[in-house]
Amino acid sequence: MGSYGPATWIGELRRLLGDDRKVSTGTAMRENHSHDFSYHAPRLPDAVVFPESTEEVSAVLRFANQRRIPVVPFGAGSSLEGHVVPVAGGISLDLTRMDQIVEVRPDDFLVRVQAGVTRSRLNRRLAQEGLFFPVDPGADATIGGMVATNASGTNAVRYGAMKHQVLGLEVVLADGRIIRTGSRAVKTSAGYNLTGLFVGSEGTLGVITEATLRVYPMPEHVVAARAAFPTVEAAARVAVGLIRAGVPVARVELVDEATIRAVNAYKKTAYPERPTLFLEFSGDEASVRAEVAFARDLAALEECLGFEYESDPAAREKLWEARHHAALAIAAAAPGKKMMVTDVCVPLSHLPDAIRHARRTAEEHGIYAAILGHVGDGNYHAAFMVDPCDPEDVARAERVNAAIVQYALARGGTCTGEHGVGVGKKRYLAAEHGGALELMRAIKGVLDPNGILNPGKVVDPFPAGP
Ligand SMILES: Cc1cc2nc3c(=O)[nH]c(=O)nc-3n(C[C@H](O)[C@H](O)[C@H](O)COP(=O)(O)OP(=O)(O)OC[C@H]3O[C@@H](n4cnc5c(N)ncnc54)[C@H](O)[C@@H]3O)c2cc1C
């Protein structure tokens, strides 16, 4: 390509978009877009571009595709596997100026939003209608980023992940074509499920500009509970027992004693440093009362050390405080280090043993791991703080990470239940998918033949033929 580099194309892009404020090359802005929340090495993009409409996204992609310039879609940058790191430079395409809530249809229980809307802003708007959107990753992520990672969170045990909420998408393809997938109907059998293809595609197949999502009525009555246990396995057994008994628990989160210790240090609190289950029940008052009583009895069978519950909203919030602060507390416990976090999901019956194995593996490697997770659906995290400048520290943590993933895969689980692949989980996809990985590569080759969309993530393009 000779001397045709960023210095040339950035000027052309500015002229194309007709507004210098839509293309930033400032160092601070490029640094903001060089990393996510994890230990993965940062890399600066050449420029950060802020489109304000689908047509502008289309124009940028057509421009980049013709010139083979990498484009990395960027939402809130809260992902955890190096997803937004522009490993090949190029454009970081920041969607946050596309933040319109286009349509709220309370009678159809759906909304249409642009990709840059954050989940908290969507929920503030929905509250006016007595509705809410249930998917709640711990960060205030954008809907585009949440679709692109198939995010979930504490409510997934009751409402499912992003893939269960997305009815349709507007997507701009690598060559600038704009397509719509799905419909406003809650179900469809009309052809291949292209909506599902883009959910979880991590910016490697297209740029999501709009999403049509299911929303739900706010529950009539909510009770939050907190229960401490002598062991992590006992707490996990109660979580599994609740699901097995068919209790429609709204949330069931596990936090181990290491995490509670970190929260106590971070928030100056004095929670008992014991493995703890955080629970939530919602529905009509009588059913909720019966579910809470059942959960308390089940917990007692596992020698529960204390079961507290509250229905008042402020008291509920207080009861769950330790869970809400867990991630930040873990990070604060090791200043200067970065977080590596496993994200395996196993069939529910394997959960207590999987957690015991993770704890033992970390201890054997001399790693201080905090374990927490959305245990109602078999998904848990072991979080370790690592020094990215110390290769031995990173290698040791990666060995633990790999052992936890292999344990999960051997039991029919997955290397990532909700965070996604990015660069960090790429190495496990062959073991998880076998021959299906070739099909994923082929799909990537069809939708992005020049490999401009978030290169280096999820799968590499189809290897060149003979
Ligand atoms: C403290 C903390 C707690 C977390 N807890 C959870 C949790 O409980 N559950 C969970 O699932 N995740 C969790 N996460 C991870 C993260 O919040 C989610 O992955 C979230 O969905 C990322 O959204 P984002 O807007 O930050 O996307 P980004 O990080 O900006 O991007 C994520 C990926 O999506 C792509 N992308 C972004 N926008 C678009 C678009 N419009 N079109 C196409 N591709 C796009 C990017 O290229 C990238 O590959 C947590 C993160 C933190 C920091």
366-421 pLDDT tens trace:
998 999 999 999 999 999 999 999 999 999 999 999 999 999 999 999 999 999 99
What digits encode the pLDDT tens for the residues 1-30? Answer: 446 799 999 999 999 999 999 999 999 999
Q: Which residues pair with 72 in a beta bridge?
A: 92
Return the ligand 1 atom nearest residue 115 CA. 41
Place 464 in a pLDDT band, splitting at 50, 70 and 90.
Answer: very low
Residue 327 has pLDDT above 90, yes or no: no
pLDDT(463) > 80 = no
pTM: 0.96
CA of 131 to the centre of ligand 1 (A): 23
Residues 6+ apart with CB under 8 A from 411: 346, 347, 350, 354
How close is the Cα of 169 to the center of ligand 1, in Å?
A: 17
Span from the CA of 78 to the centroid of ligand 1 (angstroms) = 5
Q: What is the mean pLDDT of residues 34-38?
A: 94
pLDDT of residue 461: 76
Residues 386, 340 contacting (CB under 8 angstroms): yes
pLDDT at residue 466 in the model: 42
CA 74 from centre of chain: 14
pLDDT of residue 370: 92
CA 150 / ligand 1 centre spacing (Å)? 9
Ligand 1 neighbourhood includes 204 CB (under 6 angstroms) = no
| pLDDT(465) > 50 | no
Single-letter amino acid, residue 289? R
- Residues whose CB is less than 8 angstroms from the CB of residue 287 and which lie 6 or more positions away in sequence, other chains included: none
* pLDDT at residue 433 greater than cutoff 70: yes
Q: What is the mean pLDDT of the chain?
A: 95
* pLDDT at res. 307: 96
Q: Which domains does the chain have, with CATH numbers?
A: 6-94 (3.30.43.10), 101-217 (3.30.465.10), 221-327 (3.30.70.2190), 335-430 (3.30.70.2740)
Q: For ligand 1, is residue 162 a contact (CB within 6 Å)?
A: no
Query: Residue 54 has what pLDDT?
Result: 98
Mean pLDDT of 44-57: 98
Mean pLDDT of 126-155: 97
Q: Is the pLDDT of residue 126 over 90?
A: yes
Instruction: Give mean pLDDT, residues 86-109.
Output: 98
Give residue 187's identity as a one-letter amino acid code.
Answer: K
Q: Percent of the chain beyond pLDDT 90?
A: 92
Three-state SS for 47-112 is EEECCCCHHHHHHHHHHHHHHCCCEEEECCCCCCCCCCCCCCCCEEEECCCCCCEEEEEHHHCEEE
CA dist 205 to 43, 89, 190, 209, Å? 21, 18, 21, 13
User: Which amino acid, one-letter code, is at 214?
Assistant: R
Q: Which pLDDT belongs to residue 203? A: 98
Q: What is the pLDDT of residue 322?
A: 87
Put residue 168 in one of left, alpha, beta given phi > 0 → left and psi -120 to 50 → alpha.
beta
